[in-house]
């Protein structure tokens, strides 16, 4: 079973893997308010659950297949956080696959949603009537359910509008399987036997899960120091939207208390994005005059699209630079909406001024794209990826914005780029004078951690020739691609060191010219 999924790497040092499971009638968008609070320290996996998210399934899935589908999309071990029915699914995963669930957190979730003689919940007759309405008039039933979800909120009307705006489209079918799970899943006996640390958060004004569930759960797990039960003094069933700060704080405190936050010091990236943006902005007006290699590589990448049929609705030119490939991409896909995006505002401004009207231009970072999920069919990116030193963020963002079946074709620079220049500098000192780029193995490892994508790579060497080393150095400066690594030497290079490098490079002269090799990586990232 294939599930719609997003993997969002931590923006800081990752200390834990979190999997967030939404409730019945919702989708993964319900977690958005929490992401900015959790991502500084956690990698996050979001899922749209078939049978639970409206319009996400044509046939009703079976629970074992769903559970396996979730595990197939999620990290090997993670903390599972489930809201409402998502909490019941998380409990089931914790019981069936204890090695995959390092801790269990439930929000406004009832171990037995339907009331039992000794357990608070929704009356069986009420649930049966609601299930009948869902089968015959799902849209109307879902609206009534939403009203119950926001009942007890401080600002119910505003919360209701926010909830309903998060749904994609208007399809309200495919929800009967989830109702069946709500009716039959019963974890009253399961909770005391779970081996994982547990946190159960409930809301005092919840109209769907009675506050009395907090006491009932406490009674079941009494004596287990690894289990915490908290009743939030205010708030409705829709806690992820209404109380994100409270939930984020409680979750982090619980994980810290349980010893589940890895101590990983944050390592500064090898390259400052602000420096990259500023350098290429300054280079915008002169870039095309020396971009011979960039045109050769990009044109080869564009030619390789001929072997890939399809008519995308939206094409993203990622790292569009001066917009050189905008008219070529528009000619290749005349019906597509073109978007040009670059981290350098100067490049985007220059591209907008020289290209025809009708194109969309954006300033943004490839590792944090200012685009909606599943909004792009094809990403074309030539010689921009090498400036992304956190490839797991890049690939996760591409997976997020690509529609199912979409792909990104890209070129990047590999670690053997300008090895002649690097060797010449190494002959005179131990400083880093040439940009360092990530190897193929690092890119493959990063893509392997992002669920739902497949990456294929190949390398090709491009040789350039120069009359003088200074011609190469001037070209790099004009391109804006001079040394920008953090470990570059501070201050100006001495005349003696520069002369020594020039003499060392001269030993490579062949037939009157000096070679410079570019290690170009061609990649295709496909979203399943």
- Give tens-digit pLDDT for 144-176: 999 999 999 999 999 999 999 998 766 666 788
When mean pLDDT is compared across 57-66, 93-102, 256-265, 460-469, the lowest value belongs to 57-66
Kindly tell me if the per-residue pLDDT of 58 is higher than 60.
Answer: no
Whether residue 391 is contained in a domain is answered as yes
Same domain, 237 and 289: no
State the pLDDT at residue 169: 61
Same domain, 159 and 287: no
Same domain, 277 and 252: no
State the pLDDT at residue 476: 92
What whole-number distance in Å separates Cα of residue 142 and Cα of residue 65? 25
Same domain, 212 and 315: no
Buried b (16+ CB within 10 A) or exposed e, 272-296: ebeebbbbbbbbbeebbebbebbee
Kindly tell me if the per-residue pLDDT of 281 is higher than 90.
Answer: yes
Q: How confident is the model at residue 489 (pLDDT cuts 50, 70, 90)?
A: low
The pLDDT of 268-286, averaged and rounded, is 86
User: 249: Cβ–Cβ under 8 A, 6 or more apart, which residues?
Assistant: none
Same domain, 40 and 173: yes
Share of the chain above pLDDT 90, in %: 83
Looking at 207, 231, 257, the residue that finishes a domain is: 257
Rounded to 5 degrees, what are φ and ψ at 173? Answer: -90, 180
Same domain, 328 and 413: yes
Same domain, 318 and 411: yes
Residue 237 annotated to the active site? yes
What whole-number distance in Å separates Cα of residue 316 and Cα of residue 323? 12
Parent domain of 280: 273-527
Active-site residue, selected from the candidate residues 109, 112, 187, 206: 206
What whole-number distance in Å separates Cα of residue 120 and Cα of residue 126? 14
Q: What is the DSSP letter of 22?
A: -
Same domain, 344 and 222: no
Kindly tell me if the per-residue pLDDT of 264 is higher than 80.
Answer: no
Asked if 135 and 223 count as a contact pair (C-beta separation under 8 A), the reply is no
Looking at 225, 257, 289, the residue that finishes a domain is: 257
Q: How confident is the model at residue 481 (pLDDT cuts 50, 70, 90)?
A: confident
Whether residue 266 is contained in a domain is answered as no
Rounded to 5 degrees, what are φ and ψ at 141? Answer: -65, -40
Beta partners for residue 379, in sequence order: 316, 408
Kindly tell me if the per-residue pLDDT of 485 is higher than 90.
Answer: no
- Element housing 4 (H / E): strand 4-8
Q: How confident is the model at residue 431 (pLDDT cuts 50, 70, 90)?
A: confident
The encoded tokens of residue 76 equal 């090997």
When mean pLDDT is compared across 29-43, 57-71, 341-355, 399-413, the lowest value belongs to 57-71
Whether residue 267 is contained in a domain is answered as no
Q: With CA atoms as reference, report the closest residue to 251 among 34, 22, 101.
A: 34
What whole-number distance in Å separates Cα of residue 326 and Cα of residue 338? 8
Q: What is the DSSP letter of 385?
A: G
What whole-number distance in Å separates Cα of residue 71 and Cα of residue 34? 22
Asked if 412 and 437 count as a contact pair (C-beta separation under 8 A), the reply is yes
Same domain, 286 and 167: no
Same domain, 325 and 218: no
State the pLDDT at residue 59: 63
Residue 84 annotated to the active site? yes
User: 256: Cβ–Cβ under 8 A, 6 or more apart, which residues?
Assistant: none
Same domain, 98 and 17: yes
Model pTM score: 0.86
Kindly tell me if the per-residue pLDDT of 266 is higher than 60.
Answer: no
Q: What is the mean pLDDT of the chain?
A: 93
The pLDDT of 249-264, averaged and rounded, is 93
Kindly tell me if the per-residue pLDDT of 301 is higher than 80.
Answer: yes
Q: Identify each DSSP E strand in 310-443 by its residue range.
A: 314-318, 337-342, 360-363, 376-382, 402-413
Q: With CA atoms as reference, report the closest residue to 404 among 382, 373, 450.
A: 373
Same domain, 438 and 290: yes
Q: Is the dihedral of CA 153, 156, 159, 165 positive or negative?
A: positive
Q: How confident is the model at residue 527 (pLDDT cuts 50, 70, 90)?
A: very high
Kindly tell me if the per-residue pLDDT of 405 is higher than 80.
Answer: yes
What whole-number distance in Å separates Cα of residue 469 and Cα of residue 515? 9
Buried b (16+ CB within 10 A) or exposed e, 347-367: bbebbeeebeeebebebebbb
What's the total number of domains in the chain? Answer: 2
Asked if 50 and 3 count as a contact pair (C-beta separation under 8 A), the reply is yes
State the pLDDT at residue 61: 82
State the pLDDT at residue 305: 94
With H, G, I as helix, E, B as strand and everything else as coil, classify residue 222.
coil
Active-site residue, selected from the candidate residues 48, 84, 146, 279: 84
pLDDT in tens, 164-220: 999 876 666 678 899 999 999 999 999 999 999 999 999 999 999 999 999 999 999
Q: Is the dihedral of CA 122, 125, 129, 134 positive or negative?
A: positive
Q: With CA atoms as reference, report the closest residue to 198 among 95, 96, 77.
A: 95
Q: How confident is the model at residue 335 (pLDDT cuts 50, 70, 90)?
A: very high
Residue 200 annotated to the active site? no
Q: With CA atoms as reference, report the closest residue to 446 among 403, 368, 390.
A: 390
Looking at 207, 233, 257, the residue that finishes a domain is: 257
Active-site residue, selected from the candidate residues 22, 187, 200, 237: 237
């Amino acid at each position: 079973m294939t599930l719609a999924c997003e993997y969002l790497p931590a923006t800081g040092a990752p200390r834990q893997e979190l999997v967030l499971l939404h409730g019945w009638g919702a989708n993964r968008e319900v977690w958005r308010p929490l992401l900015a609070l959790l991502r500084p320290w956690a990698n996050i996996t979001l899922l749209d659950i078939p049978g639970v998210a409206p319009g996400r399934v044509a046939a009703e899935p079976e629970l074992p297949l769903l559970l396996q589908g979730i595990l197939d999309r999620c990290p090997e071990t993670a903390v599972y956080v489930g809201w409402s029915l998502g909490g019941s699914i998380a409990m089931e995963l914790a019981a069936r696959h204890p090695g995959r669930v390092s801790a269990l957190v439930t929000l406004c979730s009832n171990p037995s949603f339907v009331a039992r003689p000794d357990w608070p919940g929704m009356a069986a007759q009420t649930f049966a009537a609601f299930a009948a309405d869902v089968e015959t008039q799902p849209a109307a039933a879902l609206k009534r359910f939403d009203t119950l979800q926001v009942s007890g909120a401080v600002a119910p009307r505003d919360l209701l509008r926010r909830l309903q705006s998060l749904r994609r489209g208007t399809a309200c079918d495919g929800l009967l399987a989830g109702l069946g799970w709500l009716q039959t899943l019963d974890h009253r006996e399961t909770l005391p036997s779970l081996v994982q640390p547990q946190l159960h958060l409930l809301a005092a004004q919840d109209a769907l899960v009675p506050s009395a569930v907090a006491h009932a759960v406490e009674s079941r797990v009494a004596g287990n120091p690894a289990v915490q039960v908290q009743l939030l003094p205010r708030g409705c069933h829709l806690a992820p939207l209404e109380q994100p700060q409270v939930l984020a704080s409680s979750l982090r405190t619980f994980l810290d208390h349980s010893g589940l936050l890895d101590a990983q010091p944050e390592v500064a990236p090898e390259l400052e994005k602000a420096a990259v943006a500023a350098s290429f902005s300054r280079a915008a007006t002169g870039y095309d005059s020396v971009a011979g290699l960039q045109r050769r590589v990009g044109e080869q990448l564009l030619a390789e699209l001929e072997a890939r049929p399809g008519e995308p609705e939206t094409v993203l030119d990622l790292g569009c630079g001066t917009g050189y490939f905008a008219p070529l991409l528009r000619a290749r896909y005349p019906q597509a909406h073109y978007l040009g995006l670059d981290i350098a505002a100067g490049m985007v401004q220059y591209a907008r001024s020289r290209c025809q009207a009708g194109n969309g231009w954006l300033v943004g970072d490839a590792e944090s794209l200012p685009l909606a999920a599943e909004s792009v069919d094809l990403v074309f990116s030539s010689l921009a990826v090498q400036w992304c030193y956190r490839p797991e963020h890049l690939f996760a963002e591409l997976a997020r914005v690509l529609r199912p079946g979409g792909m990104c074709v890209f070129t990047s620079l590999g670690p053997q780029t300008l090895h002649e220049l690097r060797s010449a500098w190494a002959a005179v000192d131990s400083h880093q004078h040439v940009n360092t780029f990530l190897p193929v193995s690092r890119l493959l490892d990063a893509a392997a951690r992002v669920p739902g994508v497949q990456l294929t790579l190949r390398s090709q060497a491009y040789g350039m020739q120069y009359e003088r080393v200074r011609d190469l150095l001037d070209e790099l400066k004009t391109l804006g691609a001079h040394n920008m690594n953090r470990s570059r030497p501070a201050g100006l290079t001495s005349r003696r060191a520069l002369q020594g490098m020039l003499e060392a490079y001269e030993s490579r002269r062949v037939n009157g010219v000096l070679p410079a090799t570019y290690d170009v990586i061609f990649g295709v990232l496909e979203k399943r």
